[in-house]
Chains A and B, each alone.
Chain A
Amino acid sequence: MNHKTLEIQNLSVVFNTDRGRICALRDLSLHIDQGEILAVVGESGCGKSVLCKTIMGLLPPVAEITGGSIAIGGHETVHLTDRQFADLRGVDLSMVFQDPMTSLDPTYTIGAQIVESIRVHNRNISSNEAKAKAIALMDTVGIERAKERFDSYPWMLSGGMRQRCVLAMALSQEPALLIADEPTTALDVTVQSEILDLLLKLRDEKNMSILFITHDLGVVARVADRVAIMYAGKIVEEGLASEIYKNPVHPYTWGLLHALPAFAEKGMLFPIPGSPPNVPEGFAADAFAVRNEHALRIDYEQAPPFFEITPTHKAATWLADPRAPKIQFGKDRPDTPPDPVQTPFCEDGAASAPKADILPTILQVRHLSHTFKLGRRSSVEAVKDVSFDIHKGEVFALVGESGSGKSTLARCILGLHKPQQGQIHYDARFIPDQRRIGFVSQDPGAALDPKMTVRDLIAEPMEILRLYRSKRDIETRIAALMDEVGLDQDLWNRYPAELSGGQKQRVTIARAYSMEPNLIVADEPLASLDVSIQAQIVELFDAMRRQHDTAILFIAHDLSMVEFLSDRVGVMYHGQLVETASAKELFANPQHPYTKALLSAVPVPDPDVERGRRK
């Protein structure tokens, strides 16, 4: 008998919460063949992690499998006790987690942890043998100087190294199935691409099946043979990677793809509005209907079955029903395209695109250096001799990996660090005295006082700077700002804890603009957000930039969004600004070797391109 490595049929999982029973997985079926990589894609909160835990038999006690079956290598596992399942884990299937910083036990050396995974299922092995095997495993996953690193504690290693260690543990018993839950999300782009190559190599060598969970369609394009799109606990579309990318049938799939800058048309992103819901038990309609521009009446009444598009491609949407009207996605979008107000740097603005140097400079950074003291002797130069200008109304992006000095530079500009060497001139005035710079930070949760309402939060800069005389003026302005950034007026008296991540970021943006600054510093404003929300926020930045004549210093590590939004780009590497060019130029023709490496490491959401890149 030739069994599929994993076969899930009609699986349903319900969580018992204080507020009723929530369906985490609904009637979910999928399968993986031997040596195949299946990617499951969806926004956060759509049930991907629950799927992993269910397959691993690691559901928390509040969760309950209400139906369906899971077969691993032909063996049914749903009814196994925890004890029985423990013998399966690590042997038949194993798992790699999202954040290698937290998934390793900090109190053991990595060697001890790898040895542990060997000895759990093999008690008779001697400690020397186990150690030798562990070192061999470390070699396999590409850890150099494995013998020395055997005795390192996790914190001594970089994120990429740690993820390799986790992988080594997962491979210790040569499982037939590897579940990888966002294994590269927490890593830098260049490291991400190495880990993906490693996974592909391992698949080829050991003929392993991989269930790859991610929200990044670029990553999917690189590794996946087949793709399953997941929404609200259900698979909504499934097919070969090329089919999904070339011919998305489900509006959700289309939305996910077109939230990416690579699919932007005419300078517009198509973010999916809203965020994924929690579905209560017994919910009958299509959960996506409320976010679907093309929802049919039947979507609100009845959940769609799977429609077969090709033998390998199926989608659960009524739009694929022969009776449904034929729809071309993105054409009849209700929003009218943004006003053709020409921003000074609008690339394809055929009309008079003024040259950068004609516009007044609002920020001038000259030979800025900043050094951190670490203890008595050692110190680190986080920023080294950086010079650049930002002109009125332009978006200047700073790109670089973590640790490259981007945030330090931003803090110098914001006046949070006193510049040690060099000058920063803002509006021809000296920085520390100048407070009118808007700031949007990476973590909107931390940037908003949990004890203040949305109204108070947006009003704060206006009150501090005494921009308006009366309370009423302030409130009119808040209402206008909330409108501009797309916040509902009934959020007026909400506290940050009641808002979603995207809404919080909108509040910080409204706050930044409320003081009518000439410059906004946005430090990784997208880092903590989901892809579709990222697209919403990027689009918001774009719209705000069109409305106001405010320059933006946009700090990011996500190059694709940078390409979409910015006029000019600066690349930081080890504290130095190694390359500055207009966005178009930089992406078309990178000069510095680091820029080239950075660009080539970015996964492109196109399976054909990515496949060519595989090593």
Chain B
Amino acid sequence: MKKLILIIVSVLLLSLITFFMARLAPGDPLVSYYGDRVERMSMDERQHAIERLGLDGPILEQYVDWLKAALHGDFGISFKYKQDVLTVISGRLLNTLLLGGIGFILTFAFALLLAVVCAYKENTLLDRAICKVGTITSCIPEFWLSLVLILLFGVTWHLLPSSGAYALGMSHSVASRITHLILPLSVVVLSHLWYYAYMLRNKLLDETRQEYVLLARAKGLTRRQVMWKHCVRNLLPTMIAIMAISINHILGGTYIIEMVFSYPGIGTLSFESAKYHDYNMLMVLVIITGIIVIVGNILGQTISERIDYRMRAPESDGDLFADEKEVSRNA
């Protein structure tokens, strides 16, 4: 319940901030509704338009009006598509969630695997080689990696389609969707993989330094058993917390990749809106993205805390507080 309130307050604040930024911006707000037509408007028409759009009142009032309309599902009209903003977005949201979601899961699945391999083989040639290669991949910007893959698989070898979400007129063909997903998905995974794998590797190495590892080995468990049964299990809450805060990075990456592959998701939409100054659309896109991230964050944190709290005492701070720690523990 508390979390729900937190989500609502966060989303409201987010929309407020976005609204203010869009409205306080230098430039004519009418442009966002009428675009180039504004220049051809007479003074009367202008005045009329401003009143009709409620742009004459104080900004807070405008926000309240906007919010009221938004609660009824009316986010205004996209200038570029001449359509209700929500209609345009709803057609594409699923595409983005598909690409981002699968990418997210694959990224962390591979990251954990790599982390375990590296931690298990710590300081061996394999570990060092993975680290070197990983660092290089983590330095490649998403858009350039996409370009290179398109150049190789699309242009040079003609192996995989390099734009769109499905071949023309085949929106229901699963096979077509899958082949169109391969390249963008690889970029999503490749460009984020090492950042998180390295983080998990280091956390896992910290785990292998814990004394419980010695105890588990002293019991007679093999190294592999200790790694999977104890170290990875201890890593889980941390990993879920990392996953929670990583949503915005991976989503941001997905947007860029969508754009390069002309994938019809909300990422492509948002960059196009920016290009054509479709403020109304862009504002809603920012808010929707924010909602996805905030909900994901809080969900992840809640899960992680749940798991963690059951297992560990709430930590207190500072060594000078030795007494108090003990006291609160006894209580």
Direct contact of A and B (CB under 8 A): yes
Of the candidate stretches B62-70, B74-82, B320-328, the one touching chain A is: B320-328
> Which of A108, A404, A442 is most buried by chain B, counting CB atoms within 10 A of its CB?
A108
Decide: B323 and A58 in contact? CB cutoff 8 A: no
Q: How far is the CA of A398 from the CA of B319 in the complex (A)?
A: 18
Decide: A106 and B312 in contact? CB cutoff 8 A: yes
Q: How far is the CA of A161 from the CA of B199 in the complex (A)?
A: 35
Decide: B327 and A103 in contact? CB cutoff 8 A: no
Decide: B320 and A102 in contact? CB cutoff 8 A: no
Interface residues of B in 214-230 (CB under 8 A from A): 214-223, 229-230
A103-119 vs B: 1/0 string, CB under 8 Å?
A: 11111100000001100
Contacts of A90 in B (CB 8 A): 218-220
Of the candidate stretches A80-88, A141-149, A342-350, the one touching chain B is: A80-88
Of the candidate stretches A284-292, A374-382, A477-485, the one touching chain B is: A374-382
Decide: A97 and B215 in contact? CB cutoff 8 A: yes
Decide: B327 and A372 in contact? CB cutoff 8 A: yes
Q: Which of A94, A103, A153 contacts B311 (CB 8 A)?
A: A153
Output the nearest chain A residue to B216 by Cβ-Cβ distance: A105
| A446 contacts B by Cβ under 8 Å | yes
Decide: A402 and B323 in contact? CB cutoff 8 A: yes
Decide: A406 and B214 in contact? CB cutoff 8 A: no
Q: How far is the CA of A169 from the CA of B216 in the complex (A)?
A: 10
Contacts of B217 in A (CB 8 A): 56, 58, 86, 89
Interface residues of B in 304-320 (CB under 8 A from A): 310-313, 319-320
Decide: A97 and B211 in contact? CB cutoff 8 A: yes
Decide: B220 and A121 in contact? CB cutoff 8 A: yes
Output the nearest chain A residue to B313 by Cβ-Cβ distance: A155
Interface residues of A in 370-409 (CB under 8 A from B): 372, 374, 378, 380, 382, 402-408
Interface residues of A in 121-170 (CB under 8 A from B): 121, 153, 155-156, 166, 169-170
Decide: A403 and B221 in contact? CB cutoff 8 A: no
Contacts of B210 in A (CB 8 A): 102
Decide: A82 and B223 in contact? CB cutoff 8 A: yes
| A523 contacts B by Cβ under 8 Å | yes
Decide: B328 and A380 in contact? CB cutoff 8 A: yes
| A593 contacts B by Cβ under 8 Å | no
Q: How far is the CA of A155 from the CA of B221 in the complex (A)?
A: 23
Contacts of A380 in B (CB 8 A): 327-328, 330-331
| A516 contacts B by Cβ under 8 Å | no
CB distance from B205 to the nearest CB of A (A): 13
Q: Which of A121, A378, A382 contacts B323 (CB 8 A)?
A: A382
| B233 contacts A by Cβ under 8 Å | yes
Output the nearest chain A residue to B218 by Cβ-Cβ distance: A95
Contacts of B321 in A (CB 8 A): 407
Output the nearest chain B residue to A382 by Cβ-Cβ distance: B327
Decide: B323 and A404 in contact? CB cutoff 8 A: yes
Output the nearest chain B residue to A153 by Cβ-Cβ distance: B311
| B234 contacts A by Cβ under 8 Å | yes
Interface residues of B in 70-119 (CB under 8 A from A): none
Chain A interfacial residues counted at CB < 8 A: 55
Q: How far is the CA of A446 from the CA of B319 in the complex (A)?
A: 8
Q: How far is the CA of A65 from the CA of B219 in the complex (A)?
A: 22
| A411 contacts B by Cβ under 8 Å | yes
CB distance from B141 to the nearest CB of A (A): 36
CB distance from A361 to the nearest CB of B (A): 25
Decide: B219 and A102 in contact? CB cutoff 8 A: no
| B123 contacts A by Cβ under 8 Å | yes
CB distance from B99 to the nearest CB of A (A): 34
| A443 contacts B by Cβ under 8 Å | yes
Contacts of B276 in A (CB 8 A): none
A83-B222 contact given A103-B215, A411-B320, CB 8 Å threshold: yes
CB distance from A528 to the nearest CB of B (A): 9
| A309 contacts B by Cβ under 8 Å | no
Output the nearest chain A residue to B223 by Cβ-Cβ distance: A82
Decide: B322 and A407 in contact? CB cutoff 8 A: yes
Chain B interfacial residues counted at CB < 8 A: 35
Decide: A169 and B233 in contact? CB cutoff 8 A: no
Q: How far is the CA of A202 from the CA of B312 in the complex (A)?
A: 31
Decide: B320 and A523 in contact? CB cutoff 8 A: yes
Decide: A58 and B322 in contact? CB cutoff 8 A: no
Q: How far is the CA of A88 from the CA of B319 in the complex (A)?
A: 39
Contacts of A413 in B (CB 8 A): none
Decide: B218 and A153 in contact? CB cutoff 8 A: no
Contacts of A117 in B (CB 8 A): 219-220
Contacts of A382 in B (CB 8 A): 323-324, 327
Decide: A120 and B219 in contact? CB cutoff 8 A: yes
Decide: B320 and A441 in contact? CB cutoff 8 A: yes
Decide: B215 and A166 in contact? CB cutoff 8 A: yes
Q: Which of B211, B214, B220, B311 contacts A91 (CB 8 A)?
A: B220
Decide: A88 and B220 in contact? CB cutoff 8 A: yes
| B212 contacts A by Cβ under 8 Å | yes
Output the nearest chain A residue to B314 by Cβ-Cβ distance: A155
Decide: B310 and A153 in contact? CB cutoff 8 A: yes
| A99 contacts B by Cβ under 8 Å | yes
| A61 contacts B by Cβ under 8 Å | yes
Contacts of B123 in A (CB 8 A): 61
A107-B327 contact given A86-B220, A90-B220, A99-B211, CB 8 Å threshold: no
Decide: A82 and B324 in contact? CB cutoff 8 A: no
Q: How far is the CA of A12 from the CA of B234 in the complex (A)?
A: 35
Contacts of B330 in A (CB 8 A): 380, 403
Interface residues of B in 6-38 (CB under 8 A from A): none
> Which of A102, A170, A403, A404 is most buried by chain B, counting CB atoms within 10 A of its CB?
A403
CB distance from A89 to the nearest CB of B (A): 4
Output the nearest chain A residue to B324 by Cβ-Cβ distance: A372
Decide: A405 and B219 in contact? CB cutoff 8 A: no
Decide: B221 and A120 in contact? CB cutoff 8 A: yes
CB distance from A299 to the nearest CB of B (A): 36
> Which of B234, B320, B328 is most buried by chain A, counting CB atoms within 10 A of its CB?
B320
Contacts of A82 in B (CB 8 A): 222-223
Q: How far is the CA of A482 from the CA of B198 in the complex (A)?
A: 45
Decide: B323 and A102 in contact? CB cutoff 8 A: no
Output the nearest chain B residue to A383 by Cβ-Cβ distance: B323
Q: Which of B229, B236, B312, B327 contacts A403 (CB 8 A)?
A: B327
Output the nearest chain A residue to B122 by Cβ-Cβ distance: A61
A64-101 vs B: 1/0 string, CB under 8 Å?
A: 00000000000000000011001111110011011100
Contacts of A172 in B (CB 8 A): 219
A412-430 vs B: 1/0 string, CB under 8 Å?
A: 0000100000000000000
Contacts of B329 in A (CB 8 A): 403
Q: How far is the CA of A98 from the CA of B311 in the complex (A)?
A: 21
Contacts of B236 in A (CB 8 A): 107
Decide: A107 and B234 in contact? CB cutoff 8 A: yes
Residues of chain B whose beta carbon lies under 8 Å from any beta carbon of chain A: 123, 210-212, 214-223, 229-230, 233-234, 236, 310-313, 319-324, 326-331
A/B interface sample: 6 pairs, CB < 8 A: A83-B222, A86-B220, A108-B233, A117-B220, A406-B323, A407-B321
Give me the 4 closest cross-chain CB pairs, A-B, nearest first. Answer: A403-B326, A90-B220, A155-B313, A407-B323
A-B contact sample (7 more), CB < 8 A, given A380-B328, A408-B327: A58-B218, A89-B218, A97-B215, A103-B212, A156-B313, A380-B331, A406-B323
